[in-house]
Chain A
Amino acid sequence: MSKGLKLTDILVTIVISVGFGILYKIWGPLYYAVKPLGIHMDQLIYGMWFMTATVAFLIIRKPGVAFLAEVAASSGEFLMGSEFGLEVLFYGIIQGLFAELLLMAFRYKRYDLLVVSVAGLSSCLGSLLLDFYKGYIGDLSTWNLILYVAFRFIGTILFTGVLAISIVNSLEATGVTNLVRSSSKKDFDTLNQ
């Protein structure tokens, strides 16, 4: 699957993701600072952790990028001494995989709000699965669990969908995305004038 990625694609993906990794290193303490509020307000900002995959995919638009991005971001976060330790790596792998699978289901052909939001939700599902085993979230009282999941879903759509799309749209305007996209047939045609 990822055999087809070129060095430029990989390096760009990883650099963006490590950038996000730095952000996550700051996001972690923020998350834990919000967490003691209790009623899962923290879950609203959880979606940030799924964002790398969609942002990278929206920029590079190739198979394998979402997975690589999520793994790279979590490795970056891990290597910077994350409070979550190796846990981030596992979450990264699962979340990346879930996002990737969803994008694959759309054949990597769509780059719109709906698809990336759903990809984000898929990551979210992956993270919940791990939470279930690791964080015993099944043992929360039911109303509390619903709140937990709902908040995380909402946050996910905000970050991986709305925010990611708006960031990448602004990036498109700067033209930097042309670097990693293939040139179109039309461009070649004008060469023949």
Chain B
Amino acid sequence: MEYITSIKNLNLKFPKEEGLLFNDLSISIRKGEKVLLLGPSGCGKSTLLQVLTGLIPRSMDVPLKSESIQIPDSWGFVFQDPDSQFCMPYVDEEIAFVLENLRIPREEMTDRIKKLLTTVGLQLDNIHNKIQALSGGMKQRLALASVLALDPEVIFLDEPTALIDDDGTAQVWDTVKSIADDKTLIIVEHKIDQIIDIIDRIIVFTDDGTIMADGEPAYVFSHFKAEIKRFGIWYPNAWGEYIKEKANITYNNYSDTVLNLDNFRGYRGKVPAITLEKATVQSGEWIAVTGANGAGKSTLILSLMQLLRTTGEYKIEGRPIRSFSDLEKKTYFVFQNPEYQFLTNRVIDELTYDIRQRVSPDVMKQANDLLSLFGLKDKQNQHPYHLSLGQKRRLSVATAFLQDPKILLLDEPTFGQDSKNTFKLLELLQEESRKGTIIIMVTHDLNIIHHFATRVWEVKGGKVICDWKKDEIKREEGRMYEYTY
């Protein structure tokens, strides 16, 4: 049988790490297969893609040893961060960069660029458009276009939709589907609902980087269901089963108003970038903030955290808030990009950082419990930057649980997370909210909105346009689905 890419007996280890990430791993993929790599966060999926493409060790120096590695003759790679895969400032120049690498004559370039942009559905009035002005979804489609410019046999996709909204995600996957026919696809993705219908082979990894299952999706999901569930990997209807198993999700009823907002505006420069007419929030409420990429969700919670200039009335427990110092640690914020938040050199220090002055044994124990809970225990002495994407995000959210704030603001805390960790995280948040903490959380996940949030703010064009309570969410469900799909 003809393989297009394969590895035999791979051993791989990151410098200065203790154990091997892969030990005698063998994998081979045939031409035309559409393969999905599944596995718990941190098991080595991203690393494996880089080995299969030869980026490790050619561009990234990571020690590895293997009997043989066969790299495809032509391949393209879509990375997960839309901002770190382009080298030119304009859309046309970026695709032209690839064409130049392939030595396409200059006269043919403009036509090709236009055709490629049409293929990925990136309609622009002018192809000389600043990349910075594109939304996340558009950027990822541009990345796809420049990959297609290579006319590759194999396309590698590493969570290409990790940082974009549902609309953008749908667009990216639709584009992938439309071009996939004669190509081999190797995809890493946690949220599988949107792509599962084109996948014809799934390879499942355990958390120590060995292959647990390999086969057609139907076969894998029926024969390995229990293991997949145990390892906390997403599978179709994972949410449905989770909800069924869990007793009804309950909340305490609080009645004390903590947060008052009236004619609240947050500014980027001189113009208001977010407006919220009026809202009062009681303790223990869980607000989900939704909306498209660029709608202003992050702007809203940055404003609530007083990291942007704001006007209008903003009160916490009756005290007016006019600047960051007025917040007095009553609020805590988890950023969209976890890397920004890391200040220390060790995972464990990161948890105890803000309270370092008085790290009692109690706090220490709590921190350790959190680490075990999030599967970061054996990473506790590692540098936070050396975690996988999902691990980083878990760590940045975990810091919040030692803070005991009145209001907890979170920006997309569940992205790039496997199911086990998503549920754990949500349960912890729920516990916080039972204690009375207000949770305001940016999310695109309808399941979270339905099953956990008690209230939804929908943001559109820099305005909070809807404010629904729990019972209204159900009623508006139809409309909400309409808006996301």
Contact = CB atoms under 8 A, between A and B. Distances in A.
A191 interface: yes
A191 B63 CA distance: 8
B328 interface: no
B101 to A, nearest CB: 12
Contacts of A181: 61
Contacts of A182: 61
Given A8-B59, A187-B15, A191-B13, A175 B385 contact: yes
B60 interface: yes
Q: Interface of chain B, helix or strand or loop or mixed? A: loop
A77 B108 CA distance: 36
A23 interface: no
A188 B65 contact: yes
A8 B63 CA distance: 17
B383 interface: yes
Contacts of B60: 8, 179
Contact of A191 (B16, B20, B386): B20
Interface in B49-105: 59-65
Contact of B345 (A6, A173, A184): A173
B383 A187 contact: no
B64 A191 contact: yes
Contacts of B64: 191
B383 A174 contact: yes
Given A191-B13, A191-B65, A192-B65, A176 B385 contact: yes
Interface string B423-465: 0000000000000000000000000000000000000000000
B11 interface: yes
Nearest to A187: B63
A183 interface: yes
A179 B14 CA distance: 11
A183 B62 contact: yes
B185 to A, nearest CB: 27
Interface string B1-38: 00000000001110110001000000000000000000
Interface residues of B, number: 17
A166 interface: no
Contacts of A2: none
Nearest to A182: B61
Nearest to A192: B65
B10 to A, nearest CB: 10
Q: Residue among A173, A182, A190, A193 with the most chain B CB within 10 A? A: A190
A190 B13 CA distance: 8
A70 B345 CA distance: 29
A17 B31 CA distance: 44
Given A178-B16, A191-B11, A191-B13, A183 B385 contact: no
Nearest to A173: B345
B54 to A, nearest CB: 14
A188 B66 CA distance: 12
B84 to A, nearest CB: 11
Interface string A103-138: 000000000000000000000000000000000000
Nearest to B58: A6
Nearest to A190: B13
B61 A174 contact: no
B339 to A, nearest CB: 11
Nearest to A172: B345
Contacts of B63: 183, 187-188, 190-191
Interface string B364-403: 0000000000000000000101100000000000000000
A8 B345 CA distance: 24
A166 B210 CA distance: 41
A181 B16 CA distance: 12
A7 B15 CA distance: 21
A178 B15 contact: yes
A173 B382 CA distance: 10
A6 B11 CA distance: 25
A188 B64 CA distance: 7
A37 B385 CA distance: 44
A184 B15 contact: yes
A192 B15 CA distance: 14
A8 B87 CA distance: 13
Residue among A6, A8, A174 facing the most chain B CB atoms (10 A cut-off): A174
A184 B60 CA distance: 14
A160 B299 CA distance: 40
Given A182-B61, A192-B65, A187 B385 contact: no
Nearest to B57: A183
Nearest to A188: B63
Q: Which of B16, B63, B64, B385 has the most CB of A within 10 A?
A: B63
Which 5 A-B pairs have CB atoms at the shortest separation, nearest pair first? Answer: A187-B63, A191-B65, A175-B383, A183-B63, A191-B11
Given A175-B16, A183-B61, 9 more contacts: A175-B383, A175-B385, A175-B386, A176-B385, A183-B63, A190-B63, A191-B12, A191-B64, A193-B20
16 contacts: A7-B59, A8-B59, A8-B60, A174-B383, A175-B16, A175-B386, A178-B15, A178-B16, A183-B61, A183-B63, A184-B15, A187-B13, A188-B63, A190-B13, A191-B64, A192-B65
